[in-house]
Amino acid sequence: MPLVSTRQLLDEAAKGGYGVGAFNVNNMEQIQAIMEAAKETNSPVIIQASRGARAYAQDKYLYHLMLAAAELYPEIPLAMHLDHGNSYETCVSAIELGFTSVMMDGSLNADGKTPATFEENVAVTRKVVDYAHPRGIAVEGEIGVLGGVEDGHGAGGSGLEHLTDPDQAVEFAERTGVDSLAVAIGTSHGAYKFTKKPDGSVLKMELVVAIHKRLPKTHLVMHGSSSVPQDLQDIVNQYGGKLKQTWGVPVEEIQLGIRNGVRKVNVDTDSRLAITGAIRKVFVEQPEKFDPRDYLKPARAAMQKVVAQRMVQFGQAGHAGDYKAISIADMAKGYKDGTLSTKPEVAKK
Ligand code: G3H
Ligand code: 13P
Ligand code: ZN
């Protein structure tokens, strides 16, 4: 299948009542791990690259690896998404390269650190939508600010400082025409999300419920959704790592979100932990090894395992064959003739 739009994947997920994992990548092994997991579980999938990933791998390498994935797995609906675009220019460059959807994270200023005003966020997101839709490219916006810092990106903090206000979410969706909306509900990026198993006081799932009630047809996105499983922490530490005890987002909470309009679930940290644990194990148990394939193969297999688990847990497993690809040119026509809605349905309070 050619690379398809995230919008198509999320529209189908809404019909089927499931979520789609969006997994971050920086290199070939991570793309291979995700595609093998998608094949194993028969899942549609979103692969996403951050600005940091684009700088690390170089755009052209990433793009051609993604084309290779689409060619090698014709049965898998696959979208290539820009994660946390920090400016209009970043989004345009991703679209020019061939990404099939972009996130304009206007919740922060272009420095990727300081929270932007609501009006600034609306203006830059609307500008990206106006550029993207005529080209058939879907746009994710963010309202509210997540916690944590990844690779220099993020406002820091616990994730509770700038939670999404449901009224603002409605206004934002109406004024920007985004295809999907990332919400801040107390999650943060990275491994150190919670210092104990999160309960209702830290993870505001009731906000997802409230936003979904007001915007019943809008695809919601949960960032910072790694579960940071204990066994992956333990493997890293057993083989010389020094992770402090931490808790991620319980899978049951994500599943509750999925029952309430969450269609895209962002996961990066769990893959990073799986890879690091597997590599450390080889280094400690077989210190004589020096062929990178000796540790990259188990690393890739470990990532495949956790990604496949998430695909089953999010409900996307089994849905790869449900639909045919809509070309990006036809997506552009759909936005133009209105068959692809950009006006959210808003329910009264
Ligand atoms: O949202 C953050 C993702 O985990 C990507 O992280 O910016 O370090 O590539 P990164
Ligand atoms: P995690 O750090 O929880 O994996 O979140 C990833 C993410 O939200 C990427 O945008
Ligand atoms: Zn994120």
pLDDT, one tens digit per residue, over 103-159 is 999 998 998 888 899 999 999 999 999 999 999 999 999 998 776 665 566 666 666
- Whole-number Å distance, alpha carbon 317 to ligand 2 midpoint, is 20
> 266 CB less than 6 Å from ligand 2?
yes
Can you tell me which atom of ligand 1 is nearest the CA of 84? 1
Q: What is the 3-state secondary structure (H, E, C) of the chain?
A: CCCCCHHHHHHHHHHHCCCEEEEECCCHHHHHHHHHHHHHHCCCEEEEECHHHHHHHCHHHHHHHHHHHHHHCCCCCEEEEEEEECCHHHHHHHHHHCCCEEEECCCECCCCCCECCHHHHHHHHHHHHHHHHHHCCEEEEEECECECCECCECCCCCCCCECCCHHHHHHHHHHHCCCEEEECCCCECCCCCECCCCCCCCCCHHHHHHHHHHCCCCEEEECCCCCCCHHHHHHHHHCCCCCCCCECCCHHHHHHHHCCCEEEEEECHHHHHHHHHHHHHHHHHCCCCCCHHHHHHHHHHHHHHHHHHHHHHHCCCCCHHHCCCCCHHHHHHHHHHCCCCCCCCCCCC
What number is the average pLDDT over the span 12-28?
Answer: 98
Please confirm, yes or no, whether 83 is among the known catalytic residues. yes
Task: Report the pLDDT averaged over residues 252-277.
Answer: 98
The per-residue pLDDT for range 167-176, each reduced to its tens digit, is: 999 999 999 9
Across the range 6-21, mean pLDDT stands at 98
Mean pLDDT of 237-262: 97
pTM greater than 0.85: yes
Which residue has its alpha carbon closest to ligand 2 atom 9?
A: 266
Pocket test for ligand 2, best of 20, 46, 81, 189 (most atoms within 8 A of CB): 189
Ligand 2 proximity of 225 Cβ (cutoff 6 Å): yes
Ligand 1, residues 81, 103, 189: which to mutate, most atoms within 8 A of Cβ?
A: 189
Which ligand places an atom closest to the C-alpha of 81?
2
Pocket test for ligand 1, best of 268, 269, 272, 303 (most atoms within 8 A of CB): 268
**Is the Cβ atom of 189 under 6 angstroms away from ligand 1?**
yes
- The ligand 1 atom nearest the CA atom of 152: 7
Q: Taking all residues of the chain, what is their mean pLDDT, rounded to a whole number?
A: 95
Residue 114 confidence (pLDDT): 87
pLDDT tens for each residue of 35-50: 999 999 999 999 999 9
> Stretch 94-105: mean pLDDT, rounded?
98
Pocket of ligand 2 contains residue 6 by CB under 6 Å? no
Which of the four pLDDT bands, split at 50, 70 and 90, describes residue 256? very high
190 CB within 6 A, ligand 2? yes
268 within ligand 1 shell (Cβ under 6 A) = yes
Name the closest ligand to CA 266.
Answer: 2
Give the number of the atom of ligand 1 that is nearest the alpha carbon of residue 153.
7
Q: Spot the catalytic one: 11, 59, 83, 337.
A: 83
Measured from the alpha carbon of residue 51, the closest ligand is 1
269 Cβ below 6 A of ligand 2: yes
Ligand 2 mean position to 308 CA, how many Å?
A: 17
Residue 11 is predicted with a pLDDT of 98
Q: Which of 137-151, 170-184, 218-232 has the lowest mean pLDDT?
A: 137-151
Look at residue 251 in the predicted model and tell me its pLDDT.
Answer: 96
Atom of ligand 1 minimally distant from the CA of 269: 4
